[in-house]
Chain A
Amino acid sequence: MDVKLKISLFVFSIILFIITTSILKKGRIPIKYSLLWYFFAIIILLTSVFPNFFSWIASIVGFEVMSNLIIAIFIGLLIFLTMALTIMVAGQNKKTILLIQELSIVKKELEEKSKNK
């Protein structure tokens, strides 16, 4: 593997690590969401430190070039992440709808009570 690519990947993983840690420090995301980003950073780091291991895996799985394997892994992870986010958004949406409905009903009843006074 090209030394330049190794260095780029290494730097990239450090940056990702720093960003995740700083977001976490400010308390903007809970720990459980940060784990996935650390996982990303670690995988990138591993590819830059042990390229031989990954080119061995690439040859087993059928990729001609190791960089393709890395790209494929990331696309896979991103698809997984997007799906998880879709499920989360749908869940949030359900909760928001419930809140709006119940609140609107309560508001109507309150207004009626104050009118009758």
Chain B
Amino acid sequence: MDKVLLIIPAYNEEKNILRTYEEIVNYNKHSKEKYDVIVINDGSKDKTKEILEKNNIPHINLLQNLGIGGAVQTGYKFAFYNDYDIAVQFDGDGQHDINYVKNIITPIINKKCDLVIGSRYIDKETSSFKSTKARQIGINIISKFIKIATRKKIYDTTSGFRACNKKIIESFAKNYPVEYPEPITTTEILKQGYKIEEVPVNMKERLGGKSSIRAWKNFYYMINVCLSILMISIRRYKDGR
């Protein structure tokens, strides 16, 4: 059976992290598959570290705050060093639903693709939470850019609920963007000739805390992401892997 690791980046998640972990433990008790967990504490300033230690949650404390990309990459490095077959990015804020992990890793277990994106938009019924109108427009624009760069339509370009196989774990462990990692890695991976699939998932509204993408930063975010995708599209990649 494939070894599966859930990578949970956490920055100031004292309100949610324990609940998220308990949900996973509960799920493991009742199901055939068992998922390992690693929480990456990205230099949180609140009690996240204490909570992780007190409850014996497997975690890595980053010595400095690195931002979402640097934190998630640490998880991929951990997965790579410990020889995991599948790594799943899972949010610590309660947005992601543990019951859907099975759905997003199935295409990888069946070797149908290399990376799976848990998508809010591919099947309109599944997800109760669809995020704001403005953000949906932003996600759509990014989607168009990725289509131009790679000729593949990705619907939920900013979803942080993703699973990948060993080859991608290795690639992410070696190279992962510090900022705006989701749309950028999606484009890079497609450009390198890997296969990506989108699977419908349910996402809940955040339980507490703030999203890492703040409203006033959206415009700056869009320019950065779109420019990055354009740059990747003119970059040359070796064919094959």
Identify the A interface with B (CB < 8 A): 93, 97, 100-105, 107-108
Contacts and interface: CB of A to CB of B under 8 A. Distances in A.
Contact of A105 (B64, B66, B70, B77): B77
A102 to B, nearest CB: 7
B61 A101 contact: no
B81 A101 contact: no
Interface string B54-86: 000001111110100010011001100100000
Given A105-B74, A108-B59, A100 B81 contact: no
A97 B61 contact: no
Nearest to A101: B74
8 contacts: A93-B178, A100-B64, A100-B70, A101-B73, A104-B62, A105-B74, A105-B81, A107-B60
For the complex of A and B, 4 pairs with smallest distance between CB atoms:
A101-B74, A108-B60, A104-B62, A97-B70
Which secondary structure dominates where chain B touches chain A?
mixed
Interface string B26-65: 0000000000000000000000000000000001111110
Contacts of A93: 178
B70 A103 contact: no
B70 A104 contact: no
B73 A104 contact: no
A100 B59 contact: no
Interface in B170-191: 178
Contacts of A102: 77
B77 A97 contact: no
